[in-house]
Structure 1
Amino acid sequence: MDPIDAAPWPFEEPPDSEAITLDRVVTGEAPIRLVAHDDDGWQFLDGEHVFEEDGRVVLIGEIVQIDPTLLELADLPVGWHARRPDVGTPWTRLEGEPE
């Protein structure tokens, strides 16, 4: 059994809820270093410049499979974001939208 499946689901939204990420995150070319939670939902990004055509809709359950540390951010309030300089470093939570 996958350890993610063994623990209770921590997000308020179910695992089949849609979220925004980037093609380069899904393909493994870039790590997730920026997470934003706003009125429109969740965004799991790499912290680099983003063009609309780079965006991709995924399920929250799928993105957590790519990076299980995202489970730590399940309680991130709406209107907040979290950053980290790289994989393996702690997330820093910040109120407001990312710059």
Structure 2
Amino acid sequence: MNDKALLLVLLGGSSMAALSSGWDDPLDPVAIITEAVASKRQPILRVTHEEGHGGWQFYDDAEPLTVPVVMSKDQLLALDPSLASLKDLPVGWEAIRESRSGKWLRSRARP
């Protein structure tokens, strides 16, 4: 826990899960992706942003998520630079596209 997070907790701030939300949050530097995306077999077609650590999730929507892979957000940007346009995706939202070159469409996440 860094000094900022410790101070917030000591001052009666939010829980650790609530502290993590933004793309650049130093307490949450990684994301969950599918093995097919990690191995470059499939493109990222859906991004979800949930509250808490591991809240950023990236799916190909072609292969079932059998083995989640953890990857740094910096590595994800190198893998797919279009993800930079989603850094401000709010918690509780998702973005989808139909193909690797498709436009990202944002909406509230499905329950």
Which TM class, normalised by the smaller chain length? 0.7 to 0.9
| Paired amino acid for 1:48 | A
| CA-atom RMSD in angstroms | 2.0
Partner amino acid, structure 1, of 2:62: E
Could you say which residue in structure 2 is the equivalent of 1:24?
A: 36
Among 73, 85, 90, which residue is 2:86 paired with?
73
Distance 1:18 1:47 in 2: 20
Q: Is the 8 A contact 2:42 2:62 kept in 1?
A: no
Per the alignment, do residues 49 and 29 of structure 1 end up closer, same or farther by CA in structure 2, a change over 3 Å counting?
A: closer
Q: State how many pairs are aligned.
A: 87
1:28 alignment partner AA: K
Q: Aligned AA for 1:23?
A: E
Larger Rg: 2
Identity over aligned pairs, percent: 34
The structure with the greater share of residues assigned to strand is 1
**Which aligned segments of 4 or more residues in structure 1 are displaced greater than 4 angstroms?**
none
Greater relative CO, 1 or 2 (CA 8 Å, sep 6+): 1
TM-score (norm 2): 0.70
Q: Which residue is 2:71 aligned to?
A: 58
Residue 60 of structure 2 is matched in structure 1 by: 46
Runs of 5+ consecutive residues of structure 2 not aligned to the other structure? 1-21
